[in-house]
Amino acid sequence: MVDAAGTGVHLAKIANAGFSGRPMYSLLDPSRFVVFITGATSGFGAAAARRYVAAGGKVIATGRREDRLLELRDELGADKCHIIALDVRDRTALQAAIAAIPAPFDAINVVLANAGLALGLQPAAEADLDDWQTMIDTNVSGLVYTVRLLLPGMVARGGGHVVTMGSVAGEFAYPGGSVYAASKAFVKHFALAIRSDLQGKNIRVTDIEPGLTETEFSIVRFKGDESKAGNVYSGTKAMTADDIAESIFWATSLPEHVNVNKIQLMATTQAIGPFDIYRQN
C-alpha cells in the first residue's frame, strides 16, 4: 500500500475488507519504530535509516566513521536520529553505548544487525588470515554481540523485531568466498535458532539475504580498488541499497502475528550458476 502522494510509505490502517469479507490486515504504525542500526555509515544501514525516518520512526545509527554519522544526523534531524560512533567488534564499548542511549531512543523495538564486510577473493590456500579474522570478528562476533545485548530490553518491553543481514552467499558459495560465505551461513542459522529461543516473547526474527547490490561492498572487498569494484557491476543492473531497505521495512511493518523468516533477493540479472566441475586436460 502507498499513500496518496505515491511515496511508498505504508499506511498504518487499512479500512477495506479483504476478499473473504473479513477486515484486511492492519500494518504496524511506522511512527512507533525505534530502530538500532549497525553499519549505518553507508549502504544498507544508511538506506534503512532514511527509510524508517521517512516513515516517521526514530533510529539509532551506529558505525565506525563518525564524520558520516554526523552527516546522516544532520540530514535526518537530531530528534529522529541518534548517532553512536563505535566498532561492533568491541563488545565492551558496544555494551556501554547501549546502556547510555537516552530516552526516547532507548525504547528500541527493531534491531538491524547490518554491520559486515567481505575482504579479498583469493583461493583459501592463499587468503590473508587477517582478512579472514576481520570477517569473522565483524560478521559473526559483532552481530551476535549486538543481538545479545539488545534482546533483554526488547523482552522486558514486551516485543520487538531482530533483523540480521545475511547474503545469498550463505546458501550459494562461490570461489574465493570461503569465510565470507561461511559467516553468512552462520547468520542464517543463528537467526533461525534465536527465533526458536524467543517463542512466547513476541519478538520476530528475519534474515535478509541479498544478492548482487551496488554499494561500497566491492570497494571494501578490493580494499579501495575502484577499478576492480566497478567490474563487479559493469554491464549489468544490480539492486540498490534502497531496494534492500524497502524489504527490511516491509518485513518489520507486517502485523505482529506475522513473522517473515527470511527474504532472499537477487537482481533480475543474477541467477544461480552451474556446478563447478574440475576436469583433467
Distance CA 153, CA 46 (A): 24
Distance CA 70, CA 141 (A): 26
What is the total residue count of the chain? 281
Catalytic residue among 25, 145, 180, 278: 180
**The Cα angle at residue 257 between residues 251 and 263, in degrees rounded to 5:** 25
Beta bridge partners of 210: 265
> For this structure, is 180 an active site residue?
yes
The count of C-alpha atoms lying within 13 angstroms of the C-alpha of 107, restricted to the half-sphere facing its C-beta, is 10
Phi and psi, residue 186, nearest 5°: -60, -45
Distance CA 29, CA 221 (A): 38
- Per residue, the 3-state secondary structure of 228-269, as one string, reads HHHHHHCCCCCECHHHHHHHHHHHHHCCCCCCCCEEEECCCC
Catalytic sites, residue numbers = 180
